Chain A
């Protein structure tokens, strides 16, 4: 267990489906992140929540919609995705955004869009 739990581990969805990814941490961290990891590419930061407030949205298409109901939980709602959205989606947390602390990552959700 890494301290950050993501579900589901694997997800196959059609382009017209709606699904959600879930991330949970009980490390007492106040910042949570969504990253997209594609093969042989750097991690792409998608969204940042610091103390439950969204602080970053790195030009992510609106078909990805984040939600942070409390500092322990983070969701990524997906709808009308494209095949190029197939990737590993990683959740991470840290003590707070902008502080020099390492990130704790979840094991990710492997998403395949068909």
Chain B
């Protein structure tokens, strides 16, 4: 079966750095997405990785290792507004999006 694993919940301190991991087992791979979802709001696109390596976009970076079936989302200089759920999703060989259950990130002052 196809599976995406990510931690259910993480807690971090304002101003710190946090890394949210995502591992996947899918039939084929055509890219990995990270989305942010604040409570009661729409998921919004954060990043897309299809090649190995680190993609940096401001305070957020996303890393991919296809050989390890592994990605992480790195959030720097955490702000209270970063409290949200972070969803990892992989596109398989049929271009179906397989979703993880999401990681709820709690930021404390």
Contact surface of A with B, Cβ cutoff 8 Å: 2, 4, 40-43, 45, 90, 97-100, 102-108, 110
Contact B50 A103 (CB under 8 A): no
Contact surface of B with A, Cβ cutoff 8 Å: 4, 8, 30-31, 33, 35, 40-45, 48, 50, 87, 89, 91, 95-102
Partner of B31, one of A42, A100, A104, A106: A100
What are some 7 contacts across the A-B interface (CB < 8 A)? A97-B95, A100-B30, A100-B48, A102-B48, A103-B43, A104-B42, A106-B42
Interface of chain A, main secondary structure: loop
* Alpha-carbon distance A102/B97, docked complex (angstroms): 10
Contact A107 B44 (CB under 8 A): no
* Alpha-carbon distance A104/B41, docked complex (angstroms): 12
Query: From B45, which residue of chain A is reached at the shortest CB distance?
Result: A102
